[in-house]
Chain A
């Protein structure tokens, strides 16, 4: 109970193997997806169409990410799945158990131990390494769709590198809010060529995808698109000369582990207005607490109940 970091050992000879192909998808489908991934890596930021399959989960629950993960997963891999930074929310738990069941691979919540990290809406705070791959679940891959609903037109715009419209969106933001108010799915230009939606991660994470050591793969199941950013690729967040890109700043560090310069979630503690801000990356937060870092609210009974109740959920 003290630590929720746990690694489930691989179980290659589980009985489920006979009923499912390794990692659920059939080999032909995986090859098709791998070809799309390879093309995506070859053309950083370009949205490659692929024949997305029906998965045993609803659209919006990460069907794109799951297919990408299934296609790249090997028996020696260790998988981590996060949803909004947390290993323990429903979406993360169900995808993790999906692969435990259908592939029998090792799973982990420790970022450093994972070879593949599937994520919805966050990038771990710890720097990723060259031997890791991060898979993003993407709802709407087309960043231009906000202003140009015609797919034929947006494809032409990508082909001709006509990205003025992306700035129209940012202009509109400033005009209405006095600053670029887009805080997530903040558009980026990859390798000086394609403009890309980095999935609904907070723009706080945008600097992490620039020159990232790990390979980034993005899968959109409903929209049937895969795109990728190879390791160490230049990724620039779009902005104006007089309104440069900047990330959110938090006024105080994490209440539990005292980490500064991390992305925080607000947690409501009671119905009397009590609240605290804690790391959205739960694994990072736990690691820090284990290493002895304590935030100013770590001793608060409400905070204690928060950490224990989270751990309690794991056991179920």
Chain B
């Protein structure tokens, strides 16, 4: 965090709008994301946060606006001007995407080790022993016992699957991870463990993260900065604790006051 001030942003988002016919998906979204920064996009269902995430992660072309990403060579590229090959390479090397449902991000037909190793093989690693060693290492980092490496993820619990999905994404040392409700659908105790693990990994690896969540506690724990969305618009943005402790907009105040205090 300390050298954060000298860096250029990793992602520049300008005036992103996505319309579905004449219905608004998201509108005029603007922000920059720096290396190592965790940005939470919060809002209720239908607020446009998933639309925004899909636009940012090149899964859904915006109607207008521009998204630029600083590639590993330091050059900013317009994401929607990348060739298909460049885009796909980016997605499986310098980026990660953690789906809410791990089944969407895993290959359930192959072992945990193969799931983690896939990206390595995709970028040309051809040494079985090394791929396996790396996979073992990552499984341990996400607290999956090494002896589960040959097990099928179908035999894993929901929390383990989610951790496996995270390992699968991190194995190429990406700089930016998108997360869509990564703790949704998990038991509270499992959530806590996952959040703690995510928090550590993000800090240790200096990852930039854009995390979509409706859970303000998740945002509070993981993020540096918050974007509050409603009806497709960003209504409030700022430091996470500033937005949560001193919410300015009526909707944000409602959202914050709706949290159950434990």
Binding site for B on A (CB under 8 A): 147, 156, 160, 162, 164-165, 167-169, 171-172, 174-176, 239-243
Contact = CB atoms under 8 A, between A and B. Distances in A.
Closest 4 CB pairs of A and B: A164-B122, A167-B121, A164-B121, A240-B128
A242 B150 contact: no
A240 B126 contact: yes
10 contacts: A162-B88, A164-B121, A165-B122, A168-B117, A171-B113, A171-B131, A172-B111, A241-B126, A241-B127, A241-B128
B109 interface: yes
B110 interface: yes
A171 B117 contact: yes
A147 B119 contact: no
Nearest to B110: A172
Interface in B94-147: 107, 109-111, 113-114, 117-119, 121-124, 126-129, 131-132
Contacts of A169: 110
A160 B128 contact: no
Contacts of B129: 242
Contacts of A242: 127-129
User: Max chain A CB contacts within 10 Å: which of B111, B114, B129, B149?
Assistant: B114
Contacts of A174: 128
Contact of A168 (B88, B114, B127): B114
A160 B88 contact: yes
A160 B88 CA distance: 9
**Most A CB within 10 A of own CB, among B118, B128, B131, B132:** B128
B123 A167 contact: no
Contacts of B127: 240-242
Nearest to A174: B128
Given A168-B114, A175-B114, A240-B127, A147 B109 contact: yes
A171 B129 CA distance: 10
Interface of B is mostly: helix
A92 B74 CA distance: 61
B111 A164 contact: no
Given A174-B128, A175-B113, 7 more contacts: A160-B84, A164-B118, A168-B118, A175-B149, A240-B127, A240-B128, A242-B129
A175 B112 CA distance: 10
B241 to A, nearest CB: 42
A164 B84 contact: no
B251 to A, nearest CB: 40
A160 B111 contact: no
Contacts of B85: 160
Contacts of A164: 118-119, 121-124
A50 to B, nearest CB: 25
Contacts of B107: 147, 168
A157 to B, nearest CB: 9
A168 B121 contact: yes
A123 to B, nearest CB: 27
B1 to A, nearest CB: 34
B110 A147 contact: yes
B123 A175 contact: no
A204 to B, nearest CB: 22
Contacts of A172: 110-111, 114
Contacts of B110: 147, 168-169, 171-172
Contacts of A165: 118, 121-122
A176 B150 contact: yes
Contacts of B128: 171, 174, 240-243
A169 B109 CA distance: 10
Contacts of B126: 167, 239-241
Contact of A175 (B119, B122, B124, B150): B150
